[in-house]
Structure 1
Amino acid sequence: MSAREELVRRLRGTVLPAVATPMDAAGVVDAGALRGYAERIAAEPVGGVAVWAHTGRGLYLSERDRRRVLAVWREAVDGPLVAGVGVPRAAGAVGLADAVGATVAMAVAAAEGGADAVMVYPLAQLDGDDDAAVELHERVAAVSGLPVVGFFLHGEAGGYPYPPRLVERLLALPSAVGVKLATLDRAMACQDAIGAARPSGRLVITGEDRMFGPSLMWGADTALVGIAAARVPLTSAVLDAWRAADHERFVRASARLDRFAEVTFRAPIEGYVQRMLWAAVWEGLVPEEAAHDPYGPALPEGERRAVVDCLEALAKEPAQDRAGA
């Protein structure tokens, strides 16, 4: 069994939190808070962890901080680590060749740090050029030596929609582990991409925080989601119930997760990172002083109250409704 096939086997049917990066208001990573957070998440029912993803502000971190973050998670987590790779924001506007070079360099750094696979951010420079997108994924895999996850990311987070034909081509690559779908609220695009991905036998990974339950019903079989950055059991309960064909439990768990998603993944969508950090503080995963997202929009205090109120309400529900969450 190849490394790619083994990774597919280990990850299928599991939740991989797209973890946050504890930092202060100036963007300085809090190493102590990061270590404690990593240990707590690693103790949850996860199949692995995704670092340097959008939730963790991977493209905003310095190269030094990315390496430190990966090292902490590698030490804490026994399961697979998937690292997001793309063009660091510090690089500014670059052409296609430089964007590809930066993505490959980040993938090499991920391999050196012990990552098991890389998730390739969509490059704006590739929009509409399917051949160049396929070549990017091939080069990342060839140079880094790591299996690759394609990343269908919505435009609000800097991505662009992959047409079904591109999804099919990416998943036909020998290095492809699967494709992650994060279409935000585009149900048809999500369904079309899942339909294109399922025949491949590779992972169909949902990143649909606001369409989590439906995306499983449409055919996703694994989850890599920012909503699990704080509430892992709340998320894994939905996937576990679906895979067990326990539809009554699935409906209850999905409804609970939807309530939490409604107060965290909402406009402005870039504010979800801060909202998830507030949830992490409530849960005791991250200290208050390390729960800042300096790269997102300023949010009114009322939004934090809504997140906390939702969490407190969920915690007060009857035990049978909270089972697994």
Structure 2
Amino acid sequence: MSATDQLVRRLRGTVLPAVATPMDARGVVDFEALRGYAERIAAHPVGGVAVWAHTGRGLYLSEADRRRVLGVWRAAVDRPVVAGVGVPRSTPVTGLRDAVDATVAMAVQAAEGGADAVMVYPLAQLDGDEDAALALHEEAASASGLPVLGFFLHGEAGGYPYPPRLVSRLLALPSAAGVKLATLDRAMACQDAIRAAQSGGKLVITGEDRMFGPSLMWGADSALVGIAAARVPLTAAVLDAWRDGDHGSFVRASARLDAFAEATFLDPIEGYVQRMLWAAVWEGLIPEESAHDPYGPGLPAAERQAVVECLERLAKDPDAA
């Protein structure tokens, strides 16, 4: 059995938190806080974790910090670690070749650090060139020796939508383990991509924090989501109930998760990283002084209060995670 097939078997039906990176207000990573956070996340029933992803501000980290962040998670988690790879913000690029080279270099770094797979950020430089998109994934897989995940990322996070035909072609690659969908609020695009992905027998991974329950009903079979950076049990409860066919529990858990998503994934959408950090503080996952997102928009105190009030309401529900 190939490494790609093994990864598919291990991840299907599981939740992978897109984990946050504890930082101070200057963007300095707090590695002591990170180790505690990693240990707490690893204690939950996760299928693995996703590092260097959008929630963890992976493209903003220095190469040295990325390596150390991956090392912390590799030491803490005995399950698959998926690393997001793309063009670091500090890397100057003048065209597609530069962007591909930077992405492939990051994939090699992930392999050297012990990652089990890479999730390839969509590159703006591809400009709709499907053949180039396939070549990007093939190069990342070949250079790193790791399975790859495609990443259908909404434009508000710097991505662009993969058309259904590209999703199908991508999943036909032997090195492709699956595709992660993060269309934000585009129900039809999500449905079309899931339909295109289902025929390949690979992972259909929801990243739809605001359409989590519906995306499972439409056919997603696994999850890699930023919302699980704080609320792992609640996220897993929705997926588990759906897979078990316990529709009553699914509706109740999905309603609770939707309430939390409504308080954390809203305009400005880039603020969700800070909101998740606030939630992680409330959960006792990271300390207050390490709950800063210097790369997102400034948010008013009222937004933090809304997040906290939502968490408090959920805590009063005996069925809440």
Question: Do these two structures clear the TM 0.5 threshold for a shared fold by scoring above it?
Answer: yes
Name 1:20's counterpart in structure 2.
20
Aligned ranges 1:133-152 → 2 under 5 Å: 133-152=133-152
Displacement of 1:90:
1.0
Name 1:115's counterpart in structure 2.
115
Name 1:228's counterpart in structure 2.
228
Q: After the TM superposition, which segments of 4 or more aligned residues of structure 1 sit over 6 Å from their partners? A: none
Displacement of 1:127:
2.4
AA matched with 2:153: L
Query: SS at 1:278's partner residue?
Result: helix
Query: SS at 2:25's partner residue?
Result: coil
Aligned ranges 1:12-161 → 2 under 5 Å: 12-161=12-161
Note if 1:162 corresponds to 2:181: no
Contact 1:33–1:286 (Cα < 8 Å) also in 2: yes
Displacement of 1:170:
0.4
Name 1:177's counterpart in structure 2.
177
CA distance, structure 2, for counterparts of residue 275 and residue 94 of structure 1: 34
Displacement of 1:2:
1.0
Superposed CA deviations along residues 175-209 of structure 1, whole A, max 9, x for unmatched, are 00000000000000000000000010000000000
Contact 1:14–1:47 (Cα < 8 Å) also in 2: yes
Query: SS at 1:210's partner residue?
Result: helix
Displacement of 1:251:
0.2
Name 1:281's counterpart in structure 2.
281
Task: List gaps (5 residues or longer) in structure 1.
Answer: none
AA matched with 1:167: V
Query: SS at 1:119's partner residue?
Result: strand
Contact 1:74–1:81 (Cα < 8 Å) also in 2: yes
Displacement of 1:93:
4.7
Query: SS at 2:47's partner residue?
Result: coil
Displacement of 1:252:
0.2
CA distance, structure 2, for counterparts of residue 127 and residue 39 of structure 1: 40
CA distance, structure 2, for counterparts of residue 98 and residue 226 of structure 1: 28
Query: SS at 2:274's partner residue?
Result: helix
CA distance, structure 2, for counterparts of residue 235 and residue 61 of structure 1: 27
AA matched with 1:283: E
Name 2:242's counterpart in structure 1.
242
Name 2:257's counterpart in structure 1.
257
Contact 1:127–1:160 (Cα < 8 Å) also in 2: no
Displacement of 1:7:
0.6
Task: List gaps (5 residues or longer) in structure 2.
Answer: none
CA distance, structure 1, for counterparts of residue 92 and residue 157 of structure 2: 16
Name 2:194's counterpart in structure 1.
194
Q: Across the two proteins, how many residue pairs are aligned to each other? A: 321
Query: SS at 2:180's partner residue?
Result: strand
Query: SS at 1:214's partner residue?
Result: helix
Name 1:215's counterpart in structure 2.
215
* TM-score, structure 1 normalization: 0.98
CA distance, structure 2, for counterparts of residue 271 and residue 139 of structure 1: 33
Name 2:300's counterpart in structure 1.
300
CA distance, structure 1, for counterparts of residue 246 and residue 30 of structure 2: 41
Note if 1:291 corresponds to 2:282: no
Query: SS at 1:223's partner residue?
Result: strand
CA distance, structure 2, for counterparts of residue 118 and residue 93 of structure 1: 21
Query: SS at 1:118's partner residue?
Result: strand
Query: SS at 1:89's partner residue?
Result: coil
Displacement of 1:92:
4.1
Note if 1:3 corresponds to 2:20: no
CA distance, structure 2, for counterparts of residue 282 and residue 275 of structure 1: 11
AA matched with 2:179: V
Displacement of 1:94:
3.0
Displacement of 1:56:
0.1
Query: SS at 2:210's partner residue?
Result: coil
CA distance, structure 1, for counterparts of residue 249 and residue 94 of structure 2: 48
Aligned identity (percent) is 83
Contact 1:164–1:193 (Cα < 8 Å) also in 2: yes
* TM-score, structure 2 normalization: 0.99
Superposed CA deviations along residues 214-273 of structure 1, whole A, max 9, x for unmatched, are 000000000000000000001000000000000000000000000000010000000000
CA distance, structure 2, for counterparts of residue 219 and residue 92 of structure 1: 39
Contact 1:191–1:215 (Cα < 8 Å) also in 2: yes
Query: SS at 2:35's partner residue?
Result: helix
AA matched with 1:127: D
